[in-house]
Amino acid sequence: MTQARFENAPEIALDWHRAGTKAALATVVQTWGSAPRRVGSQLVVGGDGRIEGSVSGGCVEGAVVVEALEALEDGEHRMLEFGVSDEDAFAVGLACGGTIRVLVEPVGSAMPLDLLEELVTARAARTPLAYEVNLRDGTRRLLHGAHTDRMRMDRSGMEDDDETFVAVHNPPLRLIVVGAVHIAQALVPMARIAGYDPVLIDPREAFGSSDRFPGETILLDWPDDAVAQVGLDARTAIVLLTHDPKLDDPALEAGLGSDCFYIGALGSKRTHAKRVTRMQDAGFSQAQIDRIHGPVGLDIGAAGPAEIALSILGEMTAVLRGKVT
């Protein structure tokens, strides 16, 4: 299942432009108060008036479309500012109004076509990057390995100079769970709510059944083959829940050899000590082994599968956001 939050506005804009329709990208670059959409949210406006996406949940879209169509005519980017009244905000589920600034960029002029093509290619390859635009002089560039704090926090926004906007383009978060056990039955839906695309791996059909995990992606393969099929990257967390080294260790070794941001393994301190010894014998360095969070999860005094799942998700989030190493 593809995450809805991984909005495909750049891909739509590129498709429309290539089809000859023309397209402009409208992006929320700054908000004050209770704005309907977060910074970085995008709306695509076609030259024929079609729209996809949203910058305000309906409050100012009409005005943005008018400005975008005019921008398509003159080829220049535009910076728009709107106040959202309390009444309009209430209509889209907010308690009070606010102010939003929206950047409108016609594709092929203000936003160079080759830059948009590079952005779409990187997104398809799950390559994280930042799109940086100077609102004063209109210079634009894509950056790899820059704005690390913004990238880690998934936080697009204006820089301190108040003229440079940075849009974060991170791949969707993924969670690989090895072991379709009772904790996984709580962890998988929790993770989906938190914005992850979960993948469940367990070669034991009695455990990894659609009856126990309705609607979820289940791979009934041995973990090393399944992990290789899914792939591991810096936006992936892997959690091992089987207690069985035959199942956990192949996935663990794959995780230690990757740049996935989180590796967690269920088990007591004694179990984890044995796990560490096995990984040492397998040739992994101490720095690699230290990446394993075991026993898995934050120490919240968890009792029962749901609370253990909560502690795991909490630790994953803390590691992702740089609060825990």
Instruction: pLDDT tens for the chain, 325 residues: list them.
Output: 333 445 899 999 999 999 999 999 999 999 877 666 789 999 999 999 999 998 887 778 899 999 999 999 999 999 999 876 655 555 554 445 578 899 999 999 999 999 999 999 999 999 999 999 999 999 999 999 999 999 999 999 999 999 999 999 999 999 999 999 999 999 999 999 999 999 999 999 999 999 999 999 999 999 999 999 999 999 999 999 998 999 999 999 999 999 999 999 999 999 999 999 999 999 999 999 999 999 999 999 999 999 999 999 999 999 999 998 8
Phi and psi of 26, rounded to 5°?
Answer: -110, 125
Please choose, from the candidates 115, 88, 266, the residue with its C-alpha nearest in 3D space to the C-alpha of residue 182.
Answer: 266
What's the rounded Cα separation, in Å, for the pair 197 and 265?
19
pTM of this structure? 0.83
Pick from 180, 215, 182: nearest CA to 200: 180
Rounded to whole angstroms, the Cα distance separating 147 from 124 reads 21
List the structure tokens of 132.
Answer: 């940086």
Give the pLDDT confidence score for residue 6 in this predicted structure. Answer: 53
β-sheet bridge partners, residue 236: 174
Domain boundaries in the chain? 9-169, 173-320
Write out the two tokens for 163.
């003229």
**Quick one: pLDDT at residue 324?**
86
CATH number, domain 173-320: 3.40.50.720
- The amino acid at residue 47 is G
**Range list of H helices, the chain:** 9-18, 61-74, 86-91, 113-124, 148-153, 182-193, 223-230, 245-256, 269-281, 286-289, 305-320
pLDDT given at position 264: 98
The answer, yes or no, to whether the previous bond of 295 is cis (omega within 30 of 0) is yes
Question: What's the pLDDT score for residue 87?
Answer: 59
Q: Which of 98, 92, 103 is nearest to 9 (CA)?
A: 103
